[in-house]
Structure 1
């Protein structure tokens, strides 16, 4: 099956390509333009599962690497000792933090898994985001990270894979050129009746992850 390449703002019904689809893997990738002696790039993937009011119904539905609560992690089956955040309904399993972009053995820098059949009924959409980790949250506490932005990152993309078959369903390559933004809402999964669709968003913001948290909590 050929993958569908989307453009910004385009929507795609997942059932069109994969009837009966349940578990999807969301893969994301990028190529930071690291400068010799410059600050380290650390890009993080997160998700916000929103209700009809465009808010997360509880903290569990903000899925990111720093989501530390007892009983809310499961062990990643591929890498012993690394853990993934998971929503309380068990539907969304978030990304493992990959500070240097070298963790994954596949083409994607980070990924997450969503079991669409488990998403609680009051969740109407799931927004997949990517942000640049900056001082003071970066590993090396380097103030120079404050100047990093997506204009310094090439080949950003998001893709959706049918986890049961391994086939790529769709892909969205981010074409916009940014000069100061450090947070991007790459795309969203949203309900249409009893099925799910994907929209390629490419909506950028300044203020990194905190801006998105303020929007959706």
Structure 2
């Protein structure tokens, strides 16, 4: 069991874990079931951004329709449309040795697919978490449980990995957005 973080906390990754080359970013959640409800489909994404907090092109946006960055730095392991089962619902693999020099930060987000159409929001999601494990050893290094801070939001930035000097750090963000994936794309400088 790794370190448990609170919202707003930051922690060294590569400096305090010098052997860490590839990290598994596991994201999980439960949805509150109620009668007549439509199924939830939550989706993890990663935005590779420069120092201006902007993606340089569409390839810097990793999601269910673009599973791998051209550099191989971030790979999405696939879309879980139901969120059923224990443990991680979706995963991203980050290879620190392959991150392009222009990338200053990687935003790790989760959105609710067709949230407005389905009348769904993160107020109906519980037990949301992000964890980071060393891919080589499987050891969980840290975990951030998001809590129940959301009501109308349809997208959440769970965490960010960011460059500090020559090292990478982890920031427990937990920041919600209304407007779903489109709002996140605009936030990170992509045309919708």
Fold in common (TM above 0.5)? yes
Q: Does 1:132 align with 2:112?
A: yes
Q: Does 1:96 align with 2:96?
A: no
**Aligned to 2:14, what secondary structure does the other structure show?**
helix
Residue 12 of structure 1 is matched in structure 2 by 11
Structure 1 CA distance, aligned partners of 2:79 and 2:24?
A: 16
Q: Is the 8 A contact 1:89 1:118 kept in 2?
A: yes
**Aligned to 2:182, what secondary structure does the other structure show?**
helix
Normalised TM-score (structure 1): 0.83
The structure-2 alpha-carbon separation of the partners of 1:184 and 1:135, relative to structure 1 and needing over 3 Å to count, comes to closer
Residue 168 of structure 2 is matched in structure 1 by 196
Q: Gapped runs of 5+ residues in structure 1?
A: 68-84, 137-142
Between Structure 1 and Structure 2, how many residues are aligned?
189
Q: Is the 8 A contact 2:159 2:172 kept in 1?
A: yes
Q: Gapped runs of 5+ residues in structure 2?
A: none
Normalised TM-score (structure 2): 0.93
RMSD: 1.5
Structure 2 CA distance, aligned partners of 1:36 and 1:16?
A: 49
Structure 2 CA distance, aligned partners of 1:3 and 1:17?
A: 13
Larger radius of gyration: 1
Structure 1 CA distance, aligned partners of 2:140 and 2:25?
A: 10
Residue 205 of structure 1 is matched in structure 2 by 177
1:49 CA drift (Å): 0.3
Residue 161 of structure 1 is matched in structure 2 by 133
Runs of 4+, deviation exceeding 3 Å: none
